[in-house]
Amino acid sequence: MKKIFIYTPILMILIASVIANGWPSECTDNGFDFGIAKYECGSAAPSEGPYSGYSTSVTWTDCTSVDWTSVPAADGIISKEGSTSYITYPGTESGTVTQSSQNAISHITLCGNNNGNEIPEFTTIGAALALLGAGAYMLKKRKK
């Protein structure tokens, strides 16, 4: 029975790391709260997203520039060129990203911030604590 106390936290950590390392991590790694949509070079369809409640579109010009729209407004745009990421902070519903280096734009990611309007989520730590509490309660009941 003690194995459950060892394996449960490990499983929770693994699940959290898989969830946290998805495509929005590009946004969260750069100070934004979430990813809105990600577009690969030349594609008008998002490879990831769009985030619930957002409507987005892009028009590419030979992977050297991309016109984008986002309703509601995007707080940041990350363009990936080679191994370098370039970040712009438009805060608007449309704009253009132009190639900044000798490398073509491989993809752009539209990012957003909650701006204090977020709904709190049940965190991984909260879930682990609830699970451990339930396990401890069951053990106590079982011993009686």
pLDDT tens digit string along 3-38? 666 666 665 665 554 444 445 689 999 999 999 999
Full 3-state SS string of 41-90: CCCCCCCECCCCCCEEEEEEECCCEEEEEEECCCCEEEEEECCEEEEECC
Q: What mean pLDDT is predicted for residues 92-110? A: 92
Residue 76's pLDDT band (boundaries 50, 70, 90)? very high
Rounded to whole angstroms, the Cα distance separating 125 from 117 reads 22
Rounded to whole angstroms, the Cα distance separating 100 from 126 reads 43
Rounded to whole angstroms, the Cα distance separating 78 from 82 reads 13
Percent of the chain at pLDDT exceeding 90: 45
The least confident of 13-17, 55-59, 65-69 is 13-17
Residue in 15, 12, 2 with CA at minimum distance from that of residue 135: 2
Q: What mean pLDDT is predicted for residues 71-83? A: 93
Q: Is the pLDDT of residue 78 over 60?
A: yes
Q: Is the pLDDT of residue 48 over 70?
A: yes
Structure tokens at 36: 């809105």
Residue 1's pLDDT band (boundaries 50, 70, 90)? low
Q: Is the pLDDT of residue 63 over 50?
A: yes
pLDDT of residue 17: 47
